[in-house]
Structure formats: structure tokens, C-alpha cells
Structure 1
Amino acid sequence: MTATLTPPPAVQAHRDPNVLRWLVAYTCSMLGDSVYYLALSWAAVRAGSPAQAGLVMSASAVPRAVLMLGGGVVADRFGPRRVVVGSDAVRCAAVLAVAALLFFTRPGLWPLALLAVVFGTVDAVFMPAVGALPARLTEPGQLARVQGMRGLAIRCSGVAGAPLGGLGVAVGGAPAAFTLAGLLIAVSVPLLLGVRIRDLPAENLPGDDASTGRTTAWSDLAAGLRHIRRHRVLAPLMLAIALGDLGFVGPLNVGLTLLADRRGWGAPGMGWVLAGYAVGAGAASLLLTVRGRLPRAGLVTGVACALGSVAVGALAYVPTLAAAVGAALFVGLLTGLSGALCGALLQTHTDPAYLGRVTAVAGLISLGLTPLSMPFAAAAIGAWGLGPVYAVSATVCGLGGVVALAVPALRRAELPG
């Protein structure tokens, strides 16, 4: 009598110690980021004029946007864990060095501006590597759950980071807050070193010569862009992400500030609206964490994005603060769900050898290009009012859902079971 050996079932991501170790490391790193940004803004305002502080706060955006695509090549060439560990080590050292400098001297704005540039430069390689790492931690069928866990970590870090940073400033000023940020980032390094990662398949896609070591950075980047352009799911998915983010960023950033001011809600009212959005987005992440997989992911992505755009447009027309909070909750729930599913589809449909480069393109769209819409949104609101600008933004956002629904390959895309 012969016995058939069956492989053990895959461990669910939220019960996998290896994934949980990564999650704790990622959460600590994101907490450190939140504390760092608060400390940087506080120190910049105390050391210079508001205009100078604004320049310091935006100094990281340029190197991050310019170098992001190259960062994807670095992540794929050297491995995402190695790049994330190195990035966190550099960020930790830079923050602690500035903390020590501010503790002993009053150097003005220059070290803060330099720190912001260093952070932006490191972010350009850190972000693609972070996006490429989950696929090396778990089975493809668990990637949607990992995306949900990552979303929860981002929400929790955003909620807890500001009070922690404020506590650091209250106890010891900017030096103490920077020290706290550096220590939080430092915690992630030994945890990441203990994370086990899966090896890439030995074979590469046709035309990719990375395994021979004879490619250049430019050819690696070109190969990654070709991978996106020729892919039946990734190419329309990138367009859907671009349209969704382009229509979403203005109304939920500068638009919300102007909306709260003109309706007389003030900063507390804006805070309540943002809290409603955060609750909705957190609920979407929790849903993916618990369920692990949603059937017909491409179709759900398109529907959620289209309905979320309606909620975005409704923000400008709701009569009361309570109604605005409710609309923001639906915006967070629907756009959070579509965004998390876009991330999961990107993870599962990209060849692992290209994940750093593909993530870099998505990051460049979301963090490098779409924020440029904010000054245009502010100018348009000043010229034509809130209603028309919110309506146009909602239409652009909704077009992302239309793309997901209109392209058969994306509409029928599924997540692994």
C-alpha cells in the first residue's frame, strides 16, 4: 500500500510569524516616519519663516520623484530586504545625527533641509523595495491579506505618530522628537534582518538578461517599463491608478481645507472629516486582512472606484458637518478598498523579478505626479468655486473605475486563492 504525501496547507499571513515580524518592523518604521515629519515641521517653523519652513518640508519631494524609477532598479538588483534594511539604517543615522546637532547647537535651517533631502533620496529606493518585499514573504494567495495588514499598519501609524511626536516635542523639543523617530526606525532593522524571504524563480521573462549580470541600470529600467506596457492587466491598472489618484488628491487635501474654511467648520471640523475618511480606509484594510481574498477583484476594484468618486463629489454639496463626515467615511471605505485591491493585483500579476520597478512606477504616479494637481485644484477653486472643481475631480477619479470596468483583462482579473 502506498501513501501519498500532500504538502501542508499554506500558513495564513496573519498567523505567520515571519510575516508578523515584517509587519512589526514596517509599523515601527512608519511610526518613526510620522514622528519625523512632525519634528521636522516643528523645528523648521521655530528656526525660520513660514515660507522657509514650507521649503524645508517640500525639499524631500524632488529627489524622491526624480530618483524613484532608479530606486526600483536598485530594489530588483540587490533584493528588497537588503535595500529596506539599508534604507532604514541610513534614515536612522541621519535623524539621530540631526537630533544630536540640534541638542548641542542652534545651526538654523540648513541641517533640516539637508535631512529632508536625504530622506527624499532614501525614500526613492525605500518605497519600491517595500512594495516588492511582500511577494517574497508569503504565498501569492496571501498577498491581498498582506496588503490589508499593511494598510492597517499605515493607518495605525498615522493615528499614533502625531501624538507620539507631540509628546516628544513637549518633553524635550525637536531634539527629543527626532531621537524618538530615529529609535523607532532603528527597531525595524534587527526585525527585518530576521525576516526570511523566498528566492526568485531561476527563470526570467523573455528579453530579461538580469541573471547573467551583464545588464545596465538603463536596460533594467527599460525592461521594467516594457513589462508594464506589454502586460494585459498591469498597463490598464497603471492608468486606473493614475486617474483615481489624480481625481482624489486635490479634494482630500487642499480642497478639504478650503471646504472646511468656507463652511465655517474650522480646523476641528476638518479633523472630523479626515477621521471619517481614516475610519473608512481602516475598515477596508481590515476587511482584506480578515477575508484574505475577494472574488472578482478586478470588477470590485472598478465598482469601488466608481462609487468612491461619487462620494468624493458629494463632499462639496453636503449641507452639514455630520453629512460630510459620513461622505468621507464612504470615500475612505471605497477608495481604500479599490486602492488595496489595486496593490494586491499589482503584486500578484507582476513577475517577481520586476516588482521593484513596477512598484516604482506606481509610486511615481501616486507620490511624484498626482500631488502636482494640488496647486491647480486650489487655483481652480478660487476661480470657479468648490462645486465645479469637486465635480471635475470626481469625474477624473471615476474614469479610473471606468478603465477597470472597460478593459476585459483587468475587469476579469482575479487574486490567487
Structure 2
Amino acid sequence: MAVDCDHHPVLWRDRQLLLLASARTVSVLGNGFARVALGFAVLGLPGATPGRLSLVLACQALPQLLFILVGGVIADRMSRARLMVVADIVGAGAYAGLAALVLSGHAPLLLMCVLAVVAGTATALFSPAMDGLVPLVVPAGRLQQANGLLRVGTNTSLLLGLALSGVTVAWIGAGWALALNAGSFVVSAVLTARLRVPGRAGKSSSALDDLKEGWREFASRQWLWVVVAQYTVVVAALNANAGVLGPLVAEEELGGARAWSVIVAAQALGTIAGAGLAARVRVGRPVLVAVLATFPAALPIALLAASAPVWMTAVAMFCSGIAADVFAVLWSTTIQREIPEESLSRVASYEWFGSLAFAPLGLLVAGPAADAVGTREALAGCAGLIVVATAAALLAPQVRGRR
């Protein structure tokens, strides 16, 4: 493994990359506000219950899974930058509507759910287009550095957004915080619209044919579908820990929300450091290194199961954050280099779909599992699933040998 320190200044002077990075940084900062603001907005409404909050959040999350393949097909048929602009505008409209409902004090549950569906659909259209746009903006030899730098910006802005969101909600209210998120989408759309990327030729094939072609590209590469299958399990386990089991054990044994916030913040800081490292490292077998970088994700979960001190779990979470972004940068770069550009967004959509397929199930099963066998035992099971899934991925010859 080598470390390359020479590319960053040149990349940051690239106008195209700077526009894209600025758009993503502003948008992700707004999303950091929205993650907290939406929950407080719903719970602050008359007659609000945890069940209503779950319903609104589910209405936002489900379209991201259901429509991600459609987003991939569309992104390979039209200008990806233009589709991202459309998705940003749709997302801005959805969050502006949510903000208006909350600020008015009259927010029918059905209308909140409809707007949440619209917001989730916008994300499903945006994500595959974004994955396919980077190779059109950055030279092939600079993809890894560009992916690393993009993640440094987005991870930093997400951390800042989450850190400031509580203060913002308390200061100006959840409705105005949602309005700020809508504004961030507008800024992102304006910046993205200024990108100059090659046009796309019209296609005579049907959307279904495009979907089948994308599947063939995806399924024909063992290293690709094996790692996506691995992450179907890994993401479910991580979701169960982050969404349910971690907060439960923090409440039961570690002193509550303050301890959990320290642990989560440590992971967020680790992702920033990991993205910076991943922008520089050069490896001969990026898929193998990416898969190996998944193992550290099990350590903080195992420490939570063992009732380790908060500082020890936080250190482990920091290290897992580093490893997670090393995986993310190496993985994104490999896909962008190995998949034909004309199919890239469709393949990315299959990757998104596979990785997120069991994510809601992880959240759904975590609570009952904790009740049935105990929180610590459920955490140990999540750590074991990550180790087993990652070890199984290493059995694939293309995972070990792909250069």
C-alpha cells in the first residue's frame, strides 16, 4: 500500500469538481438539519405519537428502496446532471411543503406522508445519477482522490449539520429548520446546473430492456454481486445497532443519550479521517482491501455487547468510521472504473437496492430480538453477522484477486 499526497491541490482547482463538491456539501448540510428537524416537527404536532413518527419516516425511506432501480434507468437515459437538478428541485418542494405544514400548525398526517414519499422518491432519483456523474466530471486517473475528497466534504457537512441541528431546532423551531433544508436543495440545484458534462444520445430500447441490461452488467461480475450480498447483511446489522440496540444499551447501562452521542460523534469523526486517508492510499487489490475494511465495523458492536467503557467503544467507533470510508472510496472508485459509463447508473442502482434491501428489516427485528434474548445478546448477534458475512465474501476468487 502506498500513499499519494500530490493530487489534492490540483483537484480542488478543478472547477467542475468544485461545483459538484459545493453542491453536495450544501445539500448534505441541509439533510443533517432535516434528520433531527423532521422527527421533532412530527412529535411537536397536536396528537403526535411515536407511531405517527414511524409512519412518516417509513414513507420517506420506502420509496428510496422501491424507486432506486427506476432512478438508475432514467439516469442512464438522460443527462445525469439534469436529473440531479430535477431531483433537488423535487426535494426542495417536498421539504418546503413539510415546513409550511409544520409552521402553519395544521399538518394532516396523510399530507405529511405524501410529502415524505415525494422526498424519498427524489433521493431515489438522485443517488444513481450522482454515482454515474463523477466519472464524467473527473479524469479516470483521479477518481479515487476525487471520491475521497467528495466524502471528506459531505462527511464534514453532515457532522456539522447534525451538531447544529439541535441548536437550530431549539432556536428557530423545527419548521424553519426544514425550510433551511429546502433552501439547501435549491442551492445544490443551482450549482449542479452549472456543471458542463457531455450530452447523452437518445435510446430506442425500452425501460424494461435497459433494466435487464443493467442486471446483466451487475450479475456478470462476481466481485460486484458478492460484496453487495455481503452488505445486504452488514447494513441490516449496522441499522439494528445504530437505530435500536445501541441506544437501548446506552440507556440501560451507559448513562443514556449523552454517552450514545459521544459514541456516534466518534464514528462521524472517523469517517472524515477515513475519507482523507482513502483519497491518498494506492492499493493493488482494492476490492480485497475494501472487504477487509468491513471487519472493524463489528468491533464497537461487540464492545457494546460486552458492556465496555464508553471511551473504549468510542475509540472503536472512530476506527470503524475510518475503515468504513476506506471501503466506500475504494468501492465507488472500482465500480466507476470497471463498469461501462453508459450502464453505470443502472449498476449503481442495483448496488443501492441490494445493499439497502434488508435495512428496514434490521430495524424491524432489532426491538423484538432485544426483548426475546436480551439487548447485549442481540448486539453480539449483529457483530457475528458482520464477521460471518465478510468472511464469506472473502471466499470469492474475484474478491481476493481483482486488481
**Fold shared per TM-score above 0.5:** yes
User: SS of 2:394's equivalent?
Assistant: helix
Q: Assess, with a 3 A threshold, how the Cα gap between structure 1 residues 326 and 101 changes in structure 2: closer, same or farther.
A: closer
User: SS of 2:67's equivalent?
Assistant: helix
1:294 — aligned with what?
Answer: 283
Whole-angstrom CA distance in 2 between matches of 1:245 and 1:340 = 17
Find the partner of 1:339 among 296, 304, 328: 328
Find the partner of 1:24 among 22, 25, 48: 22
Deviations 1:270-310 (A, max 9, x none): 01111121122221111123x16434212212322234434
1:402 aligns with 2:391: yes
Q: Which amino acid aligns with 1:373?
A: G
Q: Assess, with a 3 A threshold, how the Cα gap between structure 1 residues 330 and 11 changes in structure 2: closer, same or farther.
A: closer
How far 1:85 moved relative to its partner? 0.5
Whole-angstrom CA distance in 2 between matches of 1:16 and 1:413 = 30
How far 1:236 moved relative to its partner? 2.2
Find the partner of 1:303 among 292, 295, 302: 292
- Greater C-alpha Rg: 1
Greater alpha carbon shift after TM alignment, 224-233 vs 143-152: 143-152
Find the partner of 1:319 among 301, 308, 311: 308
Q: Which amino acid aligns with 1:38?
A: V
How far 1:75 moved relative to its partner? 1.1
Deviations 1:371-391 (A, max 9, x none): 311221332222222444333
Q: Which amino acid aligns with 1:342?
A: W
1:260 aligns with 2:258: no
Q: Which amino acid aligns with 1:391?
A: A
Q: Assess, with a 3 A threshold, how the Cα gap between structure 1 residues 96 and 313 changes in structure 2: closer, same or farther.
A: same
CA contact (8 A) 1:250 1:374 kept: yes
Whole-angstrom CA distance in 1 between matches of 2:208 and 2:103 = 43
User: SS of 1:142's equivalent?
Assistant: helix
Q: Assess, with a 3 A threshold, how the Cα gap between structure 1 residues 315 and 14 changes in structure 2: closer, same or farther.
A: farther
CA contact (8 A) 1:95 1:181 kept: yes
Whole-angstrom CA distance in 2 between matches of 1:197 and 1:143 = 16
Q: Assess, with a 3 A threshold, how the Cα gap between structure 1 residues 46 and 224 changes in structure 2: closer, same or farther.
A: same
CA contact (8 A) 2:232 2:356 kept: no
How far 1:224 moved relative to its partner? 0.5
CA contact (8 A) 1:38 1:165 kept: yes
How far 1:103 moved relative to its partner? 4.1
1:273 aligns with 2:263: yes
Whole-angstrom CA distance in 1 between matches of 2:338 and 2:392 = 17
CA contact (8 A) 1:302 1:405 kept: yes
1:375 aligns with 2:356: no
Whole-angstrom CA distance in 1 between matches of 2:365 and 2:104 = 42
How far 1:199 moved relative to its partner? 6.0
User: SS of 2:204's equivalent?
Assistant: coil
Q: For structure 2, which runs of at least 5 residues remain unmatched after alignment?
A: 1-6
How far 1:138 moved relative to its partner? 0.8
Whole-angstrom CA distance in 1 between matches of 2:60 and 2:353 = 14
Q: Assess, with a 3 A threshold, how the Cα gap between structure 1 residues 162 and 112 changes in structure 2: closer, same or farther.
A: farther
How far 1:171 moved relative to its partner? 4.4
How far 1:96 moved relative to its partner? 2.5
How far 1:212 moved relative to its partner? 6.7
Whole-angstrom CA distance in 1 between matches of 2:330 and 2:87 = 27
CA contact (8 A) 1:147 1:340 kept: yes
User: SS of 1:156's equivalent?
Assistant: helix
Matches of residues 348-363 of structure 1 in structure 2 within 5 Å?
A: 348-363=337-352
2:49 — aligned with what?
Answer: 49
How far 1:186 moved relative to its partner? 1.0
1:109 aligns with 2:98: no
CA contact (8 A) 1:278 1:332 kept: yes
Whole-angstrom CA distance in 2 between matches of 1:396 and 1:248 = 10
1:34 — aligned with what?
Answer: 32
How far 1:140 moved relative to its partner? 2.2
Whole-angstrom CA distance in 2 between matches of 1:312 and 1:343 = 25
Whole-angstrom CA distance in 2 between matches of 1:72 and 1:32 = 24
Q: For structure 1, which runs of at least 5 residues remain unmatched after alignment?
A: 1-8, 201-210
Q: Assess, with a 3 A threshold, how the Cα gap between structure 1 residues 102 and 309 changes in structure 2: closer, same or farther.
A: closer
Q: Which amino acid aligns with 2:317?
A: A
Whole-angstrom CA distance in 1 between matches of 2:103 and 2:249 = 40
Deviations 1:304-361 (A, max 9, x none): 2234434542332153111111222222222332233222222222211112111112
Q: What TM-score do you get using the length of structure 2 for normalisation?
A: 0.89
Q: What TM-score do you get using the length of structure 1 for normalisation?
A: 0.86
Whole-angstrom CA distance in 1 between matches of 2:300 and 2:251 = 20
Q: Assess, with a 3 A threshold, how the Cα gap between structure 1 residues 394 and 164 changes in structure 2: closer, same or farther.
A: closer
Matches of residues 227-238 of structure 1 in structure 2 within 5 Å?
A: 227-238=217-228
User: SS of 1:42's equivalent?
Assistant: helix
Whole-angstrom CA distance in 2 between matches of 1:137 and 1:292 = 21
How far 1:247 moved relative to its partner? 3.3
Whole-angstrom CA distance in 2 between matches of 1:390 and 1:112 = 34
2:4 — aligned with what?
Answer: none
1:86 — aligned with what?
Answer: 86
1:220 — aligned with what?
Answer: 210
Identity in percent: 27
